[in-house]
Structure 1
Amino acid sequence: MAEQRVHVDVDDAIAYVRLNRPDKLNALDMPMFRQISQTIERLRAMDSLRCVVLSGEGPAFCAGIDLALLKGKDDVKTVLRERNADQANLFQAVAWGWRMLPVPVIAAVHGAAIGAGCQIMLGADVRIATPDAKISLRETYWGLVPDMAAFPLLKGLVREDVVRELVYTARVVPGSEAGTLGLVTHIADSPLEQAKELAQTIAAQSGEAVRAAKRLLNAMAQANSADLLHAESEEQAALLDSVGHVQAVAGKAIR
């Protein structure tokens, strides 16, 4: 039986998810890919969930794929061709799945976020990293391309010429520069603590409204303006009758 590669603790409607293979810098083997995907599906089914904080146990967030996995090329090719309901394969699902989760995800990044680790980080709605974190789309160094949803996740997030340079060169970017480039949202000496504070702020808002906002924000990347205008109206019409809206208005009116 595989060791527990992912730890999850839920407290006050916030899920704290920790990648847990610290002796390998949280490098991803097949059991870890499967456990991350299964974790995302469990969280997706939690109606009371308000936010997720994603971090790595030990000295790194995630140093990428365990290179031993690539020795089974036929098995890897099989996984590449299989698709889930989000049209992602298993490798893509561990990054894209965070973006498709119905609640906000905050990644707290320290140490290495290389290759697969960088793409998992990009799946989060908000990314907080230490100034000395090492971040890289490293795949071309190994004669490969980023293939864990990097391109749809980077679209609209980082300038295209910057993405091209990072992918072509496989350059390792310090966290401080990653903030300037747009790869991360905030720079902090204690990203996990800042992520927890932000998660608590998000969890204090209307859960229905935040989920609706994430649906609209996700739609921005693909829908045209007309579709987005209609989607905004539909979400708002539903929220006007929601318990969260009624309670928020009543509470603020009392003040």
Structure 2
Amino acid sequence: MEARVSIEISGGVADVRLTRPDKLNALDPAMFAGIIAAITRLETEPGLRAVVLSGEGRSFCAGLDMASMAQSGLGADSRFDIMARTQGLANDFQQVAWGWRTLPVPVIAAVHGVAFGGGLQIASGADVRIAAPGTRLSVMEMKWGIVPDMAGYALWRGNVRDDALRELAYTAREFDAAEAQALGFVTRIAEDPHAEAMTLARAIAGRNPQAIRAAKRLANLEADAAETLLAESREQGALLRTPNQIEAVMANMQKRPPQFKD
């Protein structure tokens, strides 16, 4: 199977790229397998502090490669059984987006060109999404007579305004980066989203790695006030007076870069 995803790791930051630029990084079976394999590797990667996710070439991801998926026998192969929970809570289609949300470290998506359908859902799995000014986006599934089913609704809840999401899902219309930012699909806009994402990832990598992971667990928590308050206390109790927490305090007091240990 041809590789569809590259990973380069330096200084605790993984630079992950979709590598099918001739097809605008459209999702074929090999791309699904490559993204799932990348997430699986990164889940246990030693020393990992942050991830930047981007697409090579002219676009982030144009969504499903419909012709390729049809040729693969969609529905006949057990890999494509959408009811099977093959990845914990998710199926394989959902994992390529949901897996970035459940990854223990922060993920920053650098989005440019187009992010259509499944591509938009993959970007939405990131903690932060930085888009180039000319980026075109779409909740495109209705164009094909289907609904978003790659974890989009679970990922957009709390980020995207409900009435706007309904309109975009019902119509499949395109919208630009400025509208995407206003509605919550995009965190911010930058002329060079990949460079901006790498700068942010390196800043995150310079913080207490245990505290960063705890902060992501709290951000991912879906619970009532009582459970959330208790979870905050548990995470804080596990961090206080640990070597890395003490190092964060000492480095600030001594005005020097911290030296954290994984």
Q: TM-score, normalised by structure 2?
A: 0.93
Tell me the secondary structure at the aligned position of residue 158 of structure 2. coil
- Which shows bigger deviation, 112-121 or 64-73? 64-73
- Counterpart CA distance in 2 for 1:178 and 1:31 is 29
Q: Is the 8 A contact 1:128 1:185 kept in 2?
A: yes
More helix by share: 1
What is the count of residue pairs matched by the alignment? 252
Q: Which residue of 1 aligns with 2:120?
A: 118
Identity among equivalent pairs (%): 51
Q: Which residue of 1 aligns with 2:205?
A: 203
* Residue identity in the other structure for 1:70: A
Q: How do 1:1-255 and structure 2 match up within 5 A?
A: 2-68=1-67, 69-70=69-70, 72-75=73-76, 78-219=80-221, 222-255=222-255
Listed as ranges, the gaps of 5+ residues in structure 2 are 256-262
Deviation readout 1:197-232 (Å, 9 max, x if unpaired): 11111111111000000000000xx21111111100
Q: Is the 8 A contact 1:114 1:138 kept in 2?
A: yes
* Residue identity in the other structure for 1:12: G
Q: TM-score, normalised by structure 1?
A: 0.96
- Counterpart CA distance in 2 for 1:153 and 1:105 is 14
Q: Is the 8 A contact 1:61 1:113 kept in 2?
A: yes
Q: Is the 8 A contact 1:130 1:176 kept in 2?
A: no
- Counterpart CA distance in 2 for 1:4 and 1:96 is 21
* Residue identity in the other structure for 1:202: I
Deviation readout 1:100-151 (Å, 9 max, x if unpaired): 0000000000001000000000000000001110111100011010000000
Deviation readout 1:28-79 (Å, 9 max, x if unpaired): 1111101100110100002411000000011110000110203524237843
Q: Is the 8 A contact 2:87 2:95 kept in 1?
A: no
* Residue identity in the other structure for 1:188: A
Tell me the secondary structure at the aligned position of residue 60 of structure 2. coil
